[in-house]
Homo-oligomer: A and B are copies of this chain.
Amino acid sequence: MGFFALEKTDGGARAGSLHTPHGRVATPAFMPVATQGSVKAVDPNDLRSLGAEMVLSNTYHLYLRPGIDVIRKMGGLHGFMRWDGPTLTDSGGYQGFSLAHLREITEDGIIFKSHLDGSLHTFTPEAVIDHQQGIGADVIMPLDMCVSSRSDRAEVELAVERTTRWAERSLGSHGVGDQALFGIVQGGLLADLRERSAEQITSLGFPGYAVGGLSVGETKAEMYAVTELVTRLLPADAPRYLMGVGSPEDLVECVARGIDMFDCVLPTRIARNGALFTRTGRVNIYTAPFKARERPIEAGCDCYTCRTFSAAYVHHLFRAKELLAFRLATIHNLRFVTRLMEEMRAAIQQGGFEAYRAAFNATFVPPDEDTRREQKRRWLAARKRPGSGG
Contact = CB atoms under 8 A, between A and B. Distances in A.
A292 B82 contact: no
A70 interface: yes
Interface string A176-187: 000000000000
A294 B74 contact: yes
Contacts of A317: 38
Contacts of A65: 316, 319-320
A364 interface: no
A324 B38 contact: yes
B327 A82 contact: no
Interface stretch (A9-17, A39-47, A233-241, A334-342): A39-47
Contacts of A80: 310, 312-313, 316
A320 B36 contact: yes
A323 B34 CA distance: 12
A310 B75 CA distance: 11
A296 B319 CA distance: 34
Majority SS at the chain A contact face? loop
Interface in A235-252: none
Contacts of A70: 291-292, 312, 316
A327 B313 CA distance: 19
A326 interface: yes
Given A316-B37, A320-B36, A291 B82 contact: no
A308 interface: yes
Nearest to A39: B324
Interface string A302-323: 0000001110110111011111
14 contacts: A36-B320, A38-B320, A38-B323, A40-B322, A40-B324, A41-B323, A42-B324, A65-B316, A65-B320, A73-B312, A74-B292, A80-B310, A81-B313, A323-B323
Interface of A: 36-38, 40-44, 65-66, 69-70, 73-74, 80-82, 291-292, 294, 308-310, 312-313, 315-317, 319-324, 326-328, 388
Given A74-B292, A74-B294, A80-B312, 17 more contacts: A37-B313, A37-B320, A38-B322, A40-B322, A42-B324, A43-B327, A66-B315, A66-B316, A70-B292, A70-B312, A70-B316, A73-B294, A74-B310, A74-B313, A81-B313, A82-B309, A321-B388
